[in-house]
Structure 1
Amino acid sequence: MKALLARIESLFQFIGGLLPESLLMLFARLAIAYTFFSSGRTKVTGLLDVTDTALYLFQEEYSVPLIPPDIAAYMAAYAEHFFPILLVLGLFTRFAALSLLIMTLVIQLFVYPDAWNVHMWWGIAMLYLLKHGGGNWSLDHLFSRHSRQEPAMR
């Protein structure tokens, strides 16, 4: 039995080794970006004109504390465009993931408290990005690699 479990474990390690971690990070970035960007697009017309419907929802349905509803609507619409773009580019990945994680917590606690079964998956992806960053296929990696290179000799 022990030998069988060891073989199964080595099979899973082999399969896991076929998936580059940077690919998983890219998928996490794109999945979260798509989710929030799509939501942001429902709140605006044109480039970033917040709709009357979005303003109404923040005034009448969404119970965001401490922030006036009209300001919350603009903040949400802009955040749902800006941070996903950063995630797609892999630029300031940890900052973008943290910002959207905080937004998710606000949504979970004050707007849709029964939607934990969706929000937990978003949170897992964002916590993964917070811990590991954007991966090798990101501008974060490109810029950090470039900044670590030795300066040219004079």
Structure 2
Amino acid sequence: MGKLIGLYNKVFGILHHLDVPALLAARLYVGWVFFKSGLTKINNWENTILLFEYEYAVPVLDHVTAAYLATAGELILPVLLALGLFTRKAAIGLFIVNYVAIISLEDIPAAALNLHYIWGLMLLANIIWGAGKLSADHFAKIK
């Protein structure tokens, strides 16, 4: 039994070191996805306004305010997330953007919905565990 426990500890001791690159990969991937979306919005601003007016049913906000906030969030927060600077706050902001995207679209295809769930889980990992050792937060001692 002792050898089995030793093997278990050795294997999972090695896997424990993968949390740093896993959190980095999650930050970079989700950041890139949202940043590209923000670039698309800003590069096609007239279409963005029309989409927010007729396609996206963002609750509480008027369509112009929602378009500005979503675009700003998708351009600023991913940069912070990728750098690992104020990671938890940036991840919470993107989690909200992601959530609003899910509830705003009435006929979201299942594949797209699943991607939103995956992005949400990656953001939750960064909210819960922070950015890890490969981040500006770690070097600046930001919690």
- Tell me what 2:92 maps to: 98
Report deviation, 1:7. 9.6
Q: Say yes or no: does 1:63 pair with 2:57.
A: yes
Answer yes or no: is 1:28 the counterpart of 2:26.
Answer: yes
State the partner residue of 2:42: 44
User: Which residue pairs with 2:122 in the alignment?
Assistant: 125
- Which residue in the other structure is 2:47 paired with? 53
Shift of 1:116: 2.7
Question: Which digits, 9 at most, give the CA deviation of each residue in 1:107-147, with x for residues without a partner?
Answer: 111225544311110111011000110111111011118xx
Matches of 2:115 and 2:7, distance apart in 1: 31
- Count how many residue pairs are aligned between Structure 1 and Structure 2: 138
User: Does residue 1:76 correspond to 2:73, yes or no?
Assistant: no
The structural deviation recorded for 1:65 is: 1.1
Say whether 1:89 aligns with 2:83: yes
- The answer for the alignment partner of 1:141 in structure 2 is 138
> How big is the alpha-carbon RMSD for the aligned residues of Structure 1 and Structure 2?
2.4
Q: Which residue of 2 aligns with 1:13?
A: 12
Query: Following the alignment from structure 1 to structure 2, what is the Cα–Cα distance between the partners of residues 77 and 54?
Result: 9
Secondary structure of the corresponding residue to residue 65 of structure 1 = coil
The letter for the 2-side match of 1:104 is N
**TM superposition outliers: structure 1 runs of 4+ over 3 Å:** 5-12, 112-115
CA distance in 1: counterparts of 2:90 and 2:34, whole angstroms: 11
CA 1:7–1:118 in structure 2 vs 1: closer, same or farther (change >3 Å)? farther
Give aligned-pair identity as a percent. 35
| Counterpart for residue 149 of structure 1 | none
Give the whole-Å Cα distance in 1 for the aligned partners of 2:71 and 2:133: 29
Unaligned runs of 5+ in 2: none
**If you compute each CA radius of gyration, which structure gives the higher value, 1 or 2?**
1
Cα distance in structure 1, aligned partners of 2:48 and 2:61: 15
Give 1 or 2: higher helix fraction: 2
Q: Alpha carbons of 1:53 and 1:27: their partners in 2 closer, same or farther (altered >3 Å)?
A: same
In 1, Cα distance between equivalents of 2:47 and 2:68: 12
Residues 52/24 of structure 1: CA separation in 2 closer, same or farther (3 Å cut): same
Unaligned runs of 5+ in 1: 146-154
